[in-house]
């Protein structure tokens, strides 16, 4: 059995890295945080052209998915470059709406796959906030066995990451689908959101570590680079180990999810979410989230006072690590799910 990414999957990741390196994401982040979503939506369109959002949409609706392994490759790169917008939520909406089926799927899934539609959502059990709802073309909410389209983004709430604003969607809105299938689709969508967030957290941690290694090679103390100090080397090594231990759990969860959607009767991509797949996703989420947050603490300490400055681009990654750790399953909730699974 092969446990390595294929040449095509690695090339997909490299192509996204090249696209995002040329996009100047710090400038896009600053504009997004200021309420100017134009540059972010333009970048979103280029990512859609590369096939990122089609990965969660079934072929019947214009997508190529579900392809969890490729989605993990993509989200790691998006996390490394801190791409703004409800990435995990839009991917999860692809799974949710595919499970709902009917007119709502026909209306929204082609737009998600093509990048024309940016979507946020809230699911029961994951908190009341929809990230970046003000920039979304639709905000879906699930309560019980009802799927609703929120009438508006609602009021903003405080967020540690200014480029990841939180909103409590306006209540109401007519149900667009209902029934037992909605509960099953919501469980699968929750797993997808947690899985994508784990990949984003891993990518965020990788970039924090890369930037910190580069900085300690340049910063000198007592006439030598601080990166030559044994204590600094140990801190960086511990951070690297945390990220590397998270990586196989992430791709292991991708394999579990891929097996889930390929089982008989799951042709629409609307898997219900087995306990085994859910536990694998939870393990990946808690490990990647904690590793990314540990990378942020290491980066802040080793950058010293400069790490607190607004002018440093790294501040956007520092602010993102903890929200990603806690979104779509806090560490304690994920640990409990691993034990239950």
C-alpha separations of 191 from 68, 123, 159, 231 in Å: 11, 11, 23, 38
DSSP 3-state of 42: helix
Angle at 244 between CA 241 and CA 245, to 5 degrees: 85
Q: Give the model confidence (pLDDT) of 87-119 as tens digits.
A: 999 999 999 999 999 999 999 999 999 999 999
The two three-digit tokens of residue 25, written as one number: 């994401």
275-303 and 180-218 helices cross at what angle (nearest 10)? 30
- Dihedrals phi, psi of 274, to nearest 5 degrees: -80, 160
Across the chain, mean pLDDT equals 93
Nearest in space to 140 (alpha carbons), one of 122, 116, 166, 167: 122
Q: Give the model confidence (pLDDT) of 14-64 as tens digits.
A: 999 999 999 999 999 999 999 999 999 999 999 999 999 999 999 999 999
DSSP 3-state of 178: strand
Measured distance CA(218)–CA(209) in Å, rounded: 15
């Amino acid at each position: 059995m092969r446990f390595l990414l294929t040449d095509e999957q690695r090339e997909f990741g490299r192509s996204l890295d090249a696209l995002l390196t040329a996009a100047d994401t710090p400038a896009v982040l600053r504009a997004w945080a200021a309420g100017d979503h134009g540059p972010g939506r333009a970048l979103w369109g280029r990512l859609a052209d590369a096939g990122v959002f089609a990965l969660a949409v079934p072929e019947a609706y214009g997508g190529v998915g579900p392809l969890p392994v490729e989605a993990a490759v993509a989200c790691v790169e998006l996390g490394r470059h801190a791409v703004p917008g409800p990435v995990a939520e839009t991917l999860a909406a692809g799974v949710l709406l595919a499970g709902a089926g009917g007119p709502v799927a026909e209306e929204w899934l082609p737009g998600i796959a093509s990048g024309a539609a940016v979507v946020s959502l809230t699911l029961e059990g994951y908190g009341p906030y929809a990230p970046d709802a003000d920039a979304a073309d639709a905000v879906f909410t699930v309560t019980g066995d009802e799927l609703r389209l929120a009438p508006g983004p609602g009021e903003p709430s405080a967020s540690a990451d200014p480029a990841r604003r939180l909103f409590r969607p306006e209540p109401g809105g007519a149900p667009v689908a209902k029934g037992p299938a909605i509960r099953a689709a919501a469980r699968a969508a929750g797993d997808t959101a947690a899985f994508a967030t784990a990949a984003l957290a891993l990518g965020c941690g990788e970039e924090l570590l890369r930037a910190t290694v580069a900085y300690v090679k340049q910063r000198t103390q007592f006439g030598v680079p601080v990166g030559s100090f044994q204590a600094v080397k140990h801190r960086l090594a511990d951070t690297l180990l945390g990220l590397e231990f998270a990586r196989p759990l992430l791709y292991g969860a991708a394999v579990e999810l891929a097996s889930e959607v390929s089982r008989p009767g799951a042709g629409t991509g609307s898997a219900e979410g087995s306990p085994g797949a859910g536990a694998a996703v939870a393990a990946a989420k808690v490990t990647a989230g904690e590793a990314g947050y540990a990378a942020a603490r290491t980066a802040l300490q080793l950058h010293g006072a400069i790490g607190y400055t607004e002018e440093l681009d790294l501040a956007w990654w520092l602010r993102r690590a903890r929200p990603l750790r806690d979104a779509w399953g806090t560490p304690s909730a994920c640990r409990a799910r691993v034990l239950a699974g």
